[in-house]
């Protein structure tokens, strides 16, 4: 489908590098969202430069025109697809009567949609409209022009969906605290993470397989992981929180809220990757928040001289 494959690639690049160690704690991994990192810009450029059949149309252009990226002459009229586009001809219609008239251009810029357009369809429509304007301007479309056009979309993903944020009134706060209540709190929080640690296939593995195969059915495996994160979120909200941990617990709950929403959004990575991007934007940030929150909790436990027996779940927070 037009442009969908490249938005799927953007989804992959947006979350690549987020390594999840999901036992009792999360190790931080560097990632970039919004503006791509230098390394990922290089990967995108390599994709943009690819012309599998050598017909003068890059593979991403073949996606827009619905031409065959493995056949240099899709309409079999002895003229290469790229030559036809450059001369204002339709690469899907055999010549000589194949001029791109206003009606044909209109049909192509609306993408021939029969159903309600998805967010991905709308982005593709805008992209193809700009692309045709550049092609029909009479000026040569340079490789740099092509790259700027595509990177405009790669570097400006859809706005991130708002995440449900929790505040102090959403928690049960115990203002009185002592060594016992602090230890109880630590064991309860760590126990929740331990309870859910090994349930379901890691979402990054699932989404990687789905993207590689472009197989939407694989994403059903995400349901179990969505249940894991929502279950953790619900249990963490019910924990009785000692006063010194209120702020860090709010961060912990909000991190889980962001992760739960992001993984739910991953289910759209094949059917509507632009919608998936709007949902998963908080994924790397939520794991960074989770990592920083564990570090802050460790600091608070240390400050209050709290320790745990080796067999207690809370010991993982101090590691």
pLDDT (0 to 100) of residue 161: 67
Task: Tell me how many degrees the CA angle 303-308-311 measures, rounded to the nearest 5.
Answer: 160
pLDDT (0 to 100) of residue 5: 62
- Least Cα distance to 198 among 314, 24, 29 occurs for 24
Give domain limits for the chain.
41-154, 160-318
- Least Cα distance to 156 among 271, 48, 268, 7 occurs for 7
Instruction: In the chain, count H helices and then E strands.
Output: 13, 2
Three-state DSSP class for residue 62: helix
Averaged pLDDT, groups of 10, the chain, 319 residues long: 59 53 40 42 62 84 82 93 85 86 64 63 70 70 68 60 89 91 96 91 84 85 94 97 96 94 88 78 84 94 95 92
**pTM more than 0.85:** no
pLDDT (0 to 100) of residue 294: 93
Per-residue HEC secondary structure of 116-153 comes to CCCHHHHHHHHHHHHHHHHHHCCCCCCHHHHHHHHHHH
pLDDT (0 to 100) of residue 243: 95
Task: Tell me how many degrees the CA angle 252-255-260 measures, rounded to the nearest 5.
Answer: 125
State the residue for tokens 């991190």. Answer: 255
pLDDT (0 to 100) of residue 57: 84
6 phi and psi angles, rounded to 5 deg: -75, -30
DSSP conformational letter for 242 = E
pLDDT (0 to 100) of residue 25: 44
């Amino acid at each position: 489908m037009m442009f969908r494959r490249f938005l799927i690639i953007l989804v992959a690049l947006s979350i690549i590098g987020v390594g999840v160690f999901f036992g009792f704690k999360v190790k931080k991994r560097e990632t970039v969202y919004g503006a791509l990192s230098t390394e990922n810009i290089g990967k995108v450029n390599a994709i943009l430069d690819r012309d599998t059949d050598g017909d003068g149309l890059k593979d991403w252009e073949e996606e827009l025109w619905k031409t065959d990226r493995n056949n240099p002459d899709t309409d079999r009229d002895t003229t290469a697809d790229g030559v036809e586009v450059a001369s204002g001809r339709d690469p899907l219609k055999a010549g000589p009567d194949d001029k791109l008239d206003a009606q044909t251009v209109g049909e192509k810029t609306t993408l021939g949609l029969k159903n309600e357009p998805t967010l991905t369809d709308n982005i593709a429509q805008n992209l193809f409209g700009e692309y045709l304007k550049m092609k029909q301007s009479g000026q040569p479309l340079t490789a740099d022009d092509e790259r700027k056009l595509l990177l405009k979309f790669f570097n400006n993903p859809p706005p991130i969906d708002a995440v449900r944020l929790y505040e102090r009134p959403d928690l049960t706060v115990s203002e009185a605290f002592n060594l016992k209540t602090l230890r109880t709190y630590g064991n309860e929080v760590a126990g929740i993470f331990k309870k859910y640690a090994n349930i379901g296939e890691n979402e990054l593995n699932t989404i990687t397989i789905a993207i590689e195969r472009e197989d939407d059915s694989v994403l059903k495996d995400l349901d179990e992981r969505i249940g894991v994160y929502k279950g953790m979120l619900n249990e963490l909200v019910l924990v009785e929180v000692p006063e010194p941990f209120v702020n860090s617990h709010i961060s912990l709950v909000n991190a889980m809220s962001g992760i739960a929403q992001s993984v739910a959004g991953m289910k759209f990575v094949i059917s509507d990757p632009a919608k998936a991007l709007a949902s998963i934007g908080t994924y790397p940030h939520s794991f960074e928040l989770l990592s920083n929150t564990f570090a802050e909790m460790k600091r608070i436990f240390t400050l209050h001289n709290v320790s745990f027996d080796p067999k207690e779940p809370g010991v993982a927070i101090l590691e």
